[in-house]
Structure 1
Amino acid sequence: MIASMADFTARRRHNIKQNELLLDQIQPLITNIEPRTSEPNTSSKSIKRKAIPSRAPTRQSKRIATASTRPVYNDDQQVGTSAPRGKAKTSRAANTKRAPSASDPGPGSDVEPSKDVEDIVAGWTTWTPEAEEPSRDDAGTFHFESHPDFRPNKSPEEIIREGSFGGSYWRPLFSKHLRITVQDDWRELPASWTAGLDVDTYLTSAAYSPEVNKYGVACGQSIEEWEAAGWIAHEHDVRGWFQWYCRFWMGRRCADDGRQISR
């Protein structure tokens, strides 16, 4: 019994030594892994949105942000030969200069006139008054008998004298749509509206002048921007809403009245 225990012990020690030799010859299959340190995730985007500053009024133009500058219009104005004039029954006709033929619109224009340019010009200058000037109530509101829902509180003369367009509304205007330059159409206005005003300052200035404006600010959009946006009904008023208002006040009535009054 003692002999067998001694043999077992000897075999056991022999096996341990053999195993130790084998372990020394075998490379470990799993390398030591250093524990990872937690780092902030800088690549992921924050789910929080940045605070959005309050929006400016929707009618604010690009000129308001740069009121210190004075935009100069008609940098790309093209002048061609004179187009035929129509004879205005209300006053002197608009003076227009014709650019190259509408069938060859040239660079910078992607729209062709809706009808013959001479007919359009004639439409501006040959209308006759159909209504009387409006009446004004004690609150200062104007009332037009033909359109009772239209109740403005400023007359065209007041708007002009308060410098609402920085003195540039009636400047020479090149229409990219019609390919003509329109000028001197301010002369169709009643003489009393512009009496005593410096025409170059209050009507035909090439640059918008904020100091001409009653409130000393630059506001609104240029006629070129209105035309590009498709807001001009060229067959009626190439300069847009205020020109329509002047003619409406003087008694003209046209198919564009409803649209303009709804603006």
Structure 2
Amino acid sequence: MAEKNSFETRRIQNIRQNGALLENLGVNQQAKVIHGIHTLEPARKKRRIEKSNTNLPPSRSSARIASAPSRPQYHEDALANAVIERKQTKSKSSKQRVSTTGIDFDTSKEVKLEVLTEDMDALQASWSSWEVVAPPPQRNEAGVFHFESHPDFTPNKSPEEMIREGCFGGSYFRPLFSKKLGITISNDWKELPPAWTENLNADTYLTSFAYNPDINKFKVACGQSIEEWEAAGWIDHKHDVRGWFQWYCRFSMGRRCEDDERQVSRWKKCVGPTGRWRRMLLKKYVGMGVREVFDDGEEEMEVSPVMHQTCHHWAFMVTQEVLDEYWTTGK
């Protein structure tokens, strides 16, 4: 009996010693705080708020709004995998990020200043001193353009059509500060043929400081900014400081340069006969059972307006001939 009492005494002493140790370590206090958090009232208040919202009438939604990106972005070289990855994952590094025109991009990707900036005056002069060396493209009955020098480059939207129908949120030719060159580029839209911009509000369709998705043909924002293109190294400053669309304008006007092959290759990868954006859009049509492309655009608005606008930015539109061919052959 004495042995049992001795054991009980030691057990009680051990409990007290352990309790004192936990108290000194702050474990008991932490447990009290955690317990207090779980017993607070906000959770019940939240449920009451959610319950009250169930009496509100449902709000309307549309395919255009549902498929629009969460923020306006200037379209550039945004391929499908990059877009999907951007939505589904967070940044995997803690590299410093900066904001330009409301868009974040990784400064580690910036292209460093090169020798081409040593004579800035000569560089800027070269952007407008080129000569017309190629004839205008020919357009067939299907609306496809054919360029004699590059038979594999077959867009079906001209630069003028893209501008007048609405592209890049009306901001493509806005005053642009180049981080690589350290200068601001402006008024270069004035080199466009007068016929392309006749009776057009340049402040709205070309040089708007604010990206306006309602200007776009499909009323949505898509893609990436020129600043992001520059940071990623996708712009050849020796030729077209604004990137793809500026190159396409000048190419259509008859200029030829060292960057032509690269730009045509990029177009083919995006919206060429086997381009991924083109194929993804056509698969959407088939998946939704849509067999007709209507002139008024209503049907296209229901079939991924973001993809339609992206393809439009790359000078391609789904036509009835293209859709019929895809339904028949899957190509």
TM-score (norm 2): 0.49
Seen in structure 2, the aligned counterparts of structure 1 residues 151 and 29 have a Cα distance that, compared at 3 Å, is farther
Q: Aligned pair count? A: 174
Which letter maps to 2:70?
A
1:113 paired residue number: 114
CA distance in 1, matches of 2:242, 2:100: 14
Structure richer in helix, relative to its length: 2
Secondary structure of the corresponding residue to residue 262 of structure 1:
helix
Secondary structure of the corresponding residue to residue 238 of structure 1:
coil
Secondary structure of the corresponding residue to residue 111 of structure 1:
coil
Q: How far did 1:229 drift?
A: 1.1
Are positions 1:177 and 2:180 aligned together? yes
User: Residue by residue, what CA displacement relative to the aligned partner does 1:7-42 show, whole Å, maximum 9, x if unpaired?
Assistant: xxxxxxxxxxxxxxxxx55449999xxxxxxxxxxx
| Conserved 8 A contact 2:72-2:211 | no
CA distance in 1, matches of 2:182, 2:259: 22
Are positions 1:152 and 2:155 aligned together? yes
Computing the radius of gyration from Cα coordinates, the structure with the larger value is 1
1:192 paired residue number: 195
Which letter maps to 2:115?
S
Seen in structure 2, the aligned counterparts of structure 1 residues 140 and 220 have a Cα distance that, compared at 3 Å, is same
| Conserved 8 A contact 2:171-2:207 | yes
1:66 paired residue number: 71
Structure 1 regions of 5+ residues with no counterpart? 1-23, 32-62, 76-108
Superposition misfits of 4+ residues, deviation over 4 angstroms: 24-31, 72-75
1:23-62 matches, cutoff 5 A: 24=1, 26-27=3-4
Are positions 1:243 and 2:246 aligned together? yes
Which letter maps to 1:113?
E
Seen in structure 2, the aligned counterparts of structure 1 residues 26 and 215 have a Cα distance that, compared at 3 Å, is closer
Which letter maps to 1:241?
W
1:198-237 matches, cutoff 5 A: 198-237=201-240
CA distance in 2, matches of 1:179, 1:242: 22
| Conserved 8 A contact 1:127-1:252 | yes
Q: How far did 1:114 drift?
A: 3.2
| Conserved 8 A contact 1:74-1:174 | no
Q: How far did 1:112 drift?
A: 1.4
